[in-house]
Amino acid sequence: MINIKQYVGDIIGGSLFVAESRTIAELLLEKPSDAEFKRVVEEDNIMQKNSAKTAIRYARTIRLRIEPMGDNYLEFLVRANETCVKQLLMAAFLKQAPIAIDFMRHKLSDARRMFEERLSDYAWSDFIDERIRSIPELANFSESSIKKMGNNMIKALVDAGYLNSARQKRLQAVYLDPDVQSWLVQNGHEKIAQVMEV
């Protein structure tokens, strides 16, 4: 029996937050209390957002994804080059929202196998329709929530380089960095490494 909350995770919270995640990783390595974390994000505005509300929302989403990956992940994220950062964030995104793993495994892999040049504009809605047959609880989400999840999934694929843009959705080859692959395998995330190497 699939736990729908765990399956969807916080995919609705946003895509990869590439620019902000390293900042939050550095903060988390300092082991702040919840109050300190909130103060640094809201008052010190370390993420340089226009509103404190936006800053704390983004920061919480990022924290939810990257903190459970462990301190050595955070350290890797802080010192990694841009390509590795994007791949590490994609790995955390997939781990936190298994629905994204299934989308990559089915829709992205299928498009590659069929030698298609781009991902269909209906890939996400078709995927959800298919998944509802085996996970009926997905039908409980509003149309706008489903759409937002899909937009964030596509944006994450663009951020990580699998698609050229959210509008064109042209497929691009992604090669997992050896250091990222090695870290994922050593830390028990082989399934994620396999999915990322579609």
Distance CA 63, CA 163 (A): 25
Ordered by start, the domain boundaries in the chain are 17-79, 81-198
Domain 81-198 coded CATH 1.10.3540.10: yes
Q: Tens digit of pLDDT for each residue in 22-55? A: 999 999 999 999 999 999 998 888 888 888 888 9
Q: What residues contact 17, with CB distance under 8 A and at least 6 apart?
A: 58, 61, 62, 89
Q: Tens digit of pLDDT for each residue in 138-172? A: 999 999 999 999 999 999 999 999 999 999 999 99
Burial class (CB in 10 A: 0-12, 13-18, 19+), 117: exposed
| pTM of the predicted protein model | 0.94
Residue 198 has pLDDT above 80, yes or no: no
Burial class (CB in 10 A: 0-12, 13-18, 19+), 33: exposed
The answer for 115, left when phi > 0, alpha when psi is -120 to 50, beta otherwise, is: left
pLDDT at 2: 80
Quick one: which of 53, 12, 6, 1 has its CA closest to 142?
12
